[in-house]
Amino acid sequence: MNILADKVAIITGGASGIGRATALLFAQEGAAVAIMDIDDDQGQATIGEIEANGGKAIFIHGNVAQAVDCHNVVEKTVAAFGRLDILFNNAGIVRRANVVDTTEAEWDKVMAVNVKSIFLMSKYAIPYMEKAGGGSIINASSGWGLRGGPLAVSYCASKGAVTNLTRAMAIDLGSHNIRVNCVCPGDTDTPMLRDEARQLGQSEEAFMAAAAARPLQRYALPMEIAQAVLYLASDAASYITGSALVIDGGGSA
């Protein structure tokens, strides 16, 4: 349908999971896509799949917690495609532990990857969106960005910050025709979710079965979250900003 025809998007953490699904979907819908990730092999594989299907994409290695890398990704994207319209701040990590068992280094890393990255990427992307006449920023929050959860204090704190950061950015950027929203997925079948089972010392099978305990009786697929991100990035959501879109199969209900 080419919903994103002539648009240029950056997706952080685009080598796997929700980021990869979104990159494939954006390219399918006509966008030129820049993927930022630390996983070179999976990043290049995703680019290869996009190009094999006639899409335009580049992979840029980078650490979202480092200002120099974030600036580099934005500059290389604009150099390659001439503009920037969409930023999906998707990169994230999780540490499953309570306050006592979370180390200072773990706390700082979760906050850097999940929150600081959004500040940095947006800082460098926004001027180019303003030049383009507007844009859309979508931040990856979580159901645990709206309520608490067990043994995940750093993750819950970081995602709560993402949700309110989204609102604050929407207020500041509305006059520039830049919309800022966040998605709040429930459990989604990604490598990060399955790693949580290991962190908690649970079998993956039992952990994923528990993740499916919600009204729709299943966990999400990455492409289902990507479809929501596509909606927020598109003109179909032209009057939506400052919103937190819950995509959790009824889990929060």
Q: Which of 124, 128, 155, 219 is catalytic?
A: 155
Alpha helices in the chain (DSSP H): 17-28, 40-52, 67-81, 104-111, 117-132, 153-173, 191-200, 204-211, 222-233
Contacts of 125 (CB under 8 A, 6+ apart): 10, 74, 84, 87, 135, 137
Token representation of residue 177: 């025709």
155 an active-site residue?
yes
CB proximity list for 234: less than 8 A, separation 6 or greater: 3, 4, 29, 136
Neighbours of 46 (CB within 10 A): 26
Which residues are catalytically annotated?
155
